[in-house]
Amino acid sequence: RGGKLEHTLAGIEAAVRCGLTPVKINVVAQRNLNDDELPDIAEWGLSRGCVVRFLEVMPIGPLADVVDQHLVPAAEILERLGERFELRSIPISENLGQPATDYAAGGRGLRGVIGIIASTTRPFCARCRRLRVTSCGSLVACMHDGTRFDLKRWWDGHGLDTDGADATLRAAVLGKAELGPRNQDITMLSLGG
């Protein structure tokens, strides 16, 4: 989808220098693209004090039909990282709706947190509390569901109709499925990911 890696790395370095904490680096692990570099990526991020999170490929957007060709399952990600780091699971409250399973990581003189987001092999839909708003004003309650809620209609350019927006938010949250339907054609780019 374009972009220059050096710009991204420079942005991460700048965020660290400015004291933004925690800086979280999300990396989609992909078979035959970066799966052999996962420990190196983790080491690079941990050496800068970042939280490094590895995501499984999700069946959305252009990868929806070929996810099996690109998927590196969470168990394999952990196995590869475990060759370089000692990993200890950090318990989380189910009430937080956090998508990542975090691990205290240590090794090579480094300590930090590595997270795994296993939305394909271990879906967390039932505890997900995430909502996303697109740049066009659509509310997306689930990345795996094509349903959109129009928030923009409640904004007239000068003020927000809070009653209408509240009703839309409630409908979106209450309509979240226990397991997303997995029929998404939206791209992560349009969701800010």
Cα Rg, the chain, nearest whole Å: 18
User: Collapsing DSSP states into helix, strand and coil, what is residue 9?
Assistant: helix
User: Has residue 70 got a pLDDT over 90?
Assistant: yes
**Model-level pTM?**
0.83
User: Collapsing DSSP states into helix, strand and coil, what is residue 183?
Assistant: coil
User: Has residue 25 got a pLDDT over 80?
Assistant: yes
Those residues whose C-beta lies under 8 Å from the C-beta of residue 74, and which sit 6 or more positions away, are: 56, 101, 116, 118, 121, 122
The amino acid at residue 192 is G
User: Has residue 192 got a pLDDT over 80?
Assistant: no
Q: What is the DSSP string of 33-89?
A: TTTTSHHHHHHHHHTTT-EEEEE---S-GGGTTTHHHHB--HHHHHHHHHTTSEEEE
Model confidence band, residue 13 (pLDDT cutoffs 50, 70, 90): very high
pLDDT at site 186:
65
User: Has residue 181 got a pLDDT over 60?
Assistant: no
